[in-house]
Amino acid sequence: MNPSSMKTADIASLLLLGALWGASFLFMRMGADQFGSMALAGMRAIGAAICFLPLLASRERLAEMRTHWRSITVVGLANSALPFALFSYAAQSLPAGVSAISDAIAPLLVAASGWMWLGEKLDATRASGLLIGLTGVVWLIAGSAGFGGGGGTGWALAACVGANVCYTFGAHYSQRRVRTVSPLTVAVGSQIVAAVALLPFTVWLWPAKMPGVPAWLAMFGLAAACTSLAYVLFYRLMARIGSTQTLAVLYLIPVFGVLWGLLFLHEPVTLAMAGGCVVILLGVALTTGLVRPRKPTGNAKAVACEQT
């Protein structure tokens, strides 16, 4: 990302987007125990769909949704319904900071799946970034996971990985099936699909005891701020500064996720979290091309030849 080419308002919007998406892990951690994973995921999608309803006033948007409803349904399930449920499940036992760090593996999975199944090429830099990032994932899991019945977090981390696999599928599917559809139409439609898909589970698994005020505030924050407002900011930035610079938000989400967990939930920052976060983000930076090693200059090559 080249900050010099961005206006102050764009930088502020990017920071706000990272803060909002990082805060989603805090809010899920605050609400998951009282709502339960499915009810929280459902209320998040339902609340976001309600917030998006005014955007359906556009005839053009409605026409797009009617034409591409099958593809939008798949995107809604892969990019919203399933990840919302999986991350909410993970939030019942996993610190907000760890969940936020795990979210950074999505670009790695997109690159790896594109290489293995879609024939996309990986140069040496991207391949090394992929290996470095996956090493960070192993570090994070090895330092945090436990699959035993006594409060282990292994299944929660597996849920986070599963959510990112859903995002990966959604990214590839969107690129091929809804590329010509307005991104905001896809965002609105996908939240409506997620709300409809999760509604039966929300009703069926509604908690016997009514959640308290903090849990309700967390749910409203998830729906209104971390989903509706965040999507509007995301697509506004995509239009203003382009996808490459906007996707720098992927590096801000873990930072804010860990920060909010530390400030509001007093979650400790462990060596596994810090080390895994640094290694994963380095891998993502190389894989996405944000950081590339400098090629040796002609003088450097000459000096190397003289030394041999």
What pLDDT score was predicted for residue 195?
A: 97
What is the C-alpha separation between 239 and 165, in angstroms, rounded?
26
What pLDDT score was predicted for residue 146?
A: 55
* Amino acid (one-letter) located at 287: T
Instruction: Phi first, then psi: give them for residue 43, nearest 5 degrees.
Output: -65, -35
Contact between 160 and 86 (Cβ < 8 Å):
yes
Ordered per-residue pLDDT tens for the chain, 308 residues: 454 456 888 889 989 999 999 999 999 999 999 999 999 999 999 999 999 988 887 888 899 999 999 999 999 999 999 999 999 999 999 999 989 988 878 778 878 887 877 777 778 888 888 888 888 877 877 766 555 544 457 889 889 989 999 998 988 898 889 988 988 899 999 999 999 999 999 999 999 999 999 999 999 999 999 999 999 898 888 878 876 677 778 788 888 999 999 999 999 988 878 888 888 888 888 877 766 766 655 544 433 333 43
At CA 207, angle to CA 206 and CA 208, rounded to 5? 115
Q: What HEC string does 41-72 produce?
A: HHHHHHHHHHHHHHHHHCHHHHHHHHHCHHHH
Residue where the block lists tokens 């797009």: 64
At CA 116, angle to CA 112 and CA 119, rounded to 5? 110
What pLDDT score was predicted for residue 263?
A: 96
Instruction: Phi first, then psi: give them for residue 210, nearest 5 degrees.
Output: -60, 130
What pLDDT score was predicted for residue 301?
A: 40
Contact between 60 and 187 (Cβ < 8 Å):
no
147-151 contacts: CB < 8 A, separation 24 or more? 151/93
Which letter does DSSP use for residue 294 in this model?
Answer: P
Nearest partner of 227 among 98, 49, 53, 77, judged by Cα: 49
How far CA 254 is from CA of 39, 65, 185, in Å, comes to 25, 33, 28
Instruction: Phi first, then psi: give them for residue 132, nearest 5 degrees.
Output: -65, -45
Residues in Cβ contact with 153 at an 8 Å cutoff, skipping those fewer than 6 apart = 93, 94, 98, 144, 145, 146
What pLDDT score was predicted for residue 106?
A: 78
pTM value is 0.85
Nearest partner of 280 among 123, 17, 102, judged by Cα: 102
What is the C-alpha separation between 136 and 1, in angstroms, rounded?
23
Query: DSSP letters along 181-212, please?
Result: S-HHHHHHHHHHHHHHHHHHHHHHT--SSPP-
Nearest partner of 260 among 269, 270, 250, judged by Cα: 269
153 three-state secondary structure: coil
